[in-house]
Amino acid sequence: MQKTYNGLELPQDGQPIEYSNGQYQVPHNPIIPFIEGDGTGRDIWKASQRVFDAAVDKAYGGKRHIKWFEIFAGEKAFRQFNTWLPDDSVAAARDLRVSIKGPLTTPVGGGIRSLNVALRQLLDLYACVRPVRYYQGVPSPVKHPEKVDIVIFRENTEDVYSGIEFKQGSPDVAKLIGFINDDLLKGGKKKIRSDSGVGIKPISIFGTKRLVRYAIRQAIESGRKTVTLVHKGNIQKFTEGAFREWGYEVAVEEFRDQTVTERESWILGNVDANPGITIEENAALIEPGLEFGNQAFRDELYAEIKGVLDSIGKTHGNGAWRTRSSSTTALLIRYSSKSSSDRPTTAFSRLPTSTATTSRMQPLRRWEDWALLRALISAMVLRYLKQRMALHRSTPTRM
């Protein structure tokens, strides 16, 4: 670790946060780097620092204090060091482990397209973790905001956040479009228009599994009941769809004793409700319209159900996956493809794709979701009709 960064010495009365045996070791006076930010960031930081200091003082009875250490990025860095993101700022953020930043401007004139994306990629900050919950006393447009309690784990370095794109009209985008149209799509009807800008969204096995692994581990440790994989796999099967499949692989291969997939929960739930149910009857319940499929599809489904019952029927069946009193925790792994063509889950969301969310809410069966949605729509229509009838009665009739 350096003694100085950007020409500034570390606070003498502070200590760096260490990391050992899979845990952070936080001293009583940790050194926390901060980037003030651009524009409103300066004002936001001044107020935020006071709040942070007061919160730490209140929480620890004056026994702990943060030793703030300024590092530079954005306009302030450019004015002082003639670079938007000094190497020493990145090194300080890496060495001191925990840091905070204000909003940063987008550099003008080329070079770094986004300081935020650059920081994520240089430091490999792969997960954007955002807890979403209700605080009592805050105005809300919904009736029961206290029931909202989720944590979003968004992919931060892959997908659209990889930052790989080519400007419309540039020689590079012309070369890329030509290669795709003339080689990869040769002979087909699909073509990229020549006047397009092009972005590339890679989704890897490594990136997907470490994000989902992090989400599942945090869900287990914090006592949550579900993990939902949010994706757009109904349209982009080899990226978004692969994100879903690789996410399920993590759950089944690395957390088998502590998880059950949504599909497995249907199979086990059907047996719990009717112990004498046959594999064929079980299949008809989890795949409506099964009778319209060919024999190969039905045989594949029968084999899947038999495999689930043989592998986890004894450990996860008889309601074991629903309770926390058994050796199997009730962590449900499911997905939401955000598509009207798919049967809905309880995760109605407009989140970015390639996202995992954890929730404390109890899962609903899919046909119960439909019933809930139908009831909601019916109630809205009935309310509208009553309002229209009341308005009609209150309107005077012209003679």
Residue 114 has a pLDDT of 82
Residues across the chain: 399
Q: Would you kindly state where each structural domain of the chain is located, as residue ranges? A: 1-125
Contact 72, 58 (CB under 8 A): no
Tens-place pLDDT, residues 203-255: 999 999 999 999 999 999 988 888 999 888 888 999 999 999 999 999 999 99
Angle formed by the axes of helices 87-96 and 115-123, to 10°? Answer: 50
If phi > 0 it is left, if psi is from -120 to 50 it is alpha, else beta; for residue 21 that is: left
- Return d(Cα 93, Cα 6) in angstroms, integer: 12
The structure's pTM equals 0.77
Residue 150 has a pLDDT of 92
Residue 289 has a pLDDT of 83
Residue 48 has a pLDDT of 93
> Which parts of the chain have pLDDT scores under 70?
108-112, 324-330, 335-399
Residue 112 has a pLDDT of 67
Residue 362 has a pLDDT of 39
Residue 269 has a pLDDT of 92
- Both tokens assigned to 158: 């892959």
- Both tokens assigned to 235: 């349209």
Name the DSSP class of 161.
G
Residue 187 has a pLDDT of 87
Residue 174 has a pLDDT of 96
- Both tokens assigned to 80: 């002082």
- Return d(Cα 77, Cα 55) in angstroms, integer: 29
Which amino acid is it at 250?
V
Per-residue b or e along 59-78, where b marks 16 or more CB atoms closer than 10 Å to that residue's CB? eeeeeeebbbbebbbbbbbb
Contact 154, 352 (CB under 8 A): yes
Residue 321 has a pLDDT of 79
Contact 197, 186 (CB under 8 A): no
Q: What is the 3-state secondary structure (H, E, C) of the chain?
A: CCCEECCEECCCCCECCEEECCEEECCCCEEEEEECCCCCHHHHHHHHHHHHHHHHHHHCCCCCCCEEEECCCCHHHHHHHCCCCCHHHHHHHHHHCCCEECCCCCCCCCCCCCHHHHHHHHHCCCEEEEEEECCCCCCCCCCCHHHCEEEEEEECCCHHHHCEEECCCCHHHHHHHHHHHHHHCCCCCCCCCCCCCEEECCCCHHHHHHHHHHHHHHHHHCCCCEEEEECCCCCCCCCHHHHHHHHHHHHHHHCHHHEEEHHHHHHHHHHHHCCCCCHHHHHHHHCCCHHHCCHHHHHHHHHHHHHHHHHHHHHHCCCHHHCCCCCCCCEEEEEECCCCCCCCCCCCCCCCCCEEEEECCCCCCHHHHHHHHHHHHHHHHHHHHHHHHHHHHHCCCCC
Find the angle CA(73)-CA(155)-CA(124) to the nearest 5 degrees. Answer: 45
The gap between the terminal CA atoms of the chain, to the nearest Å, is 90
Q: 1-125 is classed in which CATH architecture? A: 3-Layer(aba) Sandwich (3.40)
- Return d(Cα 278, Cα 294) in angstroms, integer: 19
Q: Residue 108 CA to chain centroid, in angstroms?
A: 30
- Both tokens assigned to 82: 């003639």
How do strand 198-200 and strand 164-166 relate by DSSP bridges?
A: antiparallel
Q: What is the CA radius of gyration of the chain?
A: 27
CA nearest neighbour of 316 among 282, 361, 269: 269
